Structure 1
Amino acid sequence: MPQLITPDVRVHASFLAAMDEARAEGHGGPDDDSTAGLSLRAYGDTWQDPAVFARYVARMRLTHGPRSILQYDVECTTLWYVDGDAYLGRLAIRHRLTEAWLRDGHIGYDVRPGARGRGHATAMLRAALPLAARLGIDPALITCDTDNAASRRVIEACGGVRDEAGEDDGVLRYRAPTGTGSHTGRTLPTVGKG
């Protein structure tokens, strides 16, 4: 059964296949500032080496800060969505938003091209909302491009309501309840074993 886990070396082969799919889709070019694009430029074919991949996984397991390869200037938790040893996608929860992160929101996710259209994005986002609550985020700002109908459906299926700010620069903003209630802790609950 698919689940969110902390990044794990056991999905090495599947992760490499997913990155090949991302490359085939056009990710990794000099103007691509997506997570896949930044990672492909930073690691390229060096991921093939198990030791390099292990270092990458170790880095992804950390809460990212200003020196991350992904250029986060805020704390960020990265989780991978897997089914056994099959890498299906990744999800990032930014612990707070700066002006620069308002375009991307608290939660970003992507599903590998070969696994799209199967409900994985909805399941990932649903699983992430309680994790965001544990960080004191409520509601979570989640964004998508105006022309991304699939992402709009995912966000709305997870309770996202269009933000009053509406559309800006081709980006739709949604607020999704996380159910923080009275929780004030900032520690993430245990996710699937990696």
Structure 2
Amino acid sequence: MFELVKPRAELFGVWSEAHREWGPGLHEDGFGIGADDDVNTVEGFRDWVARIDQGPGELWWIVEDGRVLGGIALRASEDERVHRFGHIGYGVRPSARGRGVATWALGEVLRHAESLGTDPVLAFCLDDNAGSIATLERHGAKLEAIEQHGTARVRRYAIRPRFRPR
């Protein structure tokens, strides 16, 4: 069973396993790694976890049986990165893909976004990322545009939360 857990320094070992599987780079969407973050040492990892815990926005790791499968972030609407990366960013380690991990996590975080009143929720993915496209569209995401970002073609989606009457 999947669960969303807040990043914690004591999960360094299991998080590092997922990070190594991705290989070098800052491409683990949903983890919130910056170019200057040291996530390879216990001290650096502890500092990074403390920084991401202070926001803006929220971040969770997707865990199953004590194993970190990926991460998902919900950026605050006032975060300037929303216009470049969307409210939501997520990533699933290669060995856990194709099992519905991202679809489940996105559904959980969309419910949280709904409770915050975020409408619409913006999400971006590469134009050739069939898995992410399917995940977003399963949750009712509507394609707003396909944009050129440097050498990458990026899809911009808007997801309208299903607001319940109060």
The structure with the largest strand share of the pair is: 2
Q: Is the 8 A contact 1:160 1:174 kept in 2?
A: yes
Structure 2: state its 5+ residue gaps. none
Secondary structure of the residue aligned to 1:45 is coil
**Matched residue pairs, number?**
162
RMSD of Structure 2 on Structure 1 (CA): 2.6
Q: Kindly report structure 1 stretches of 4+ aligned residues shifted beyond 6 Å.
A: none
Q: Deviations over 1:92-148 (max 9, x none)?
A: 111115665323111000111221121111111111101111221022111111111
Partner of 1:128: 109
Q: 1:180 to 1:97 in 2, by over 3 A?
A: farther
Partner of 1:12: 12
1:105 aligns to 2:86 (yes or no): yes
**Mean alpha-carbon deviation: is it higher for 80-89 or for 2-11?**
2-11
Structure 1: state its 5+ residue gaps. 65-74, 184-194
Q: Is the 8 A contact 1:138 1:180 kept in 2?
A: no
Specify which structure has the bigger relative contact order, considering alpha-carbon pairs within 8 angstroms and separated by 6 or more residues.
1
Partner of 1:3: 3
TM-score by length of 1: 0.72
Partner of 2:49: 57
Task: Please tell me the residue identity of whatever aligns with 2:159.
Answer: A
Q: Is the 8 A contact 1:138 1:179 kept in 2?
A: no
Secondary structure of the residue aligned to 2:99 is coil
TM-score by length of 2: 0.82
Quote the sequence identity (%). 32
Matches of residues 11-160 of structure 1 in structure 2 within 5 Å? Answer: 11-23=11-23, 26-28=24-26, 38-39=33-34, 42-46=37-41, 49=42, 52-62=44-54, 64=55, 75-96=56-77, 100-160=81-141
Task: Please tell me the residue identity of whatever aligns with 1:79.
Answer: W
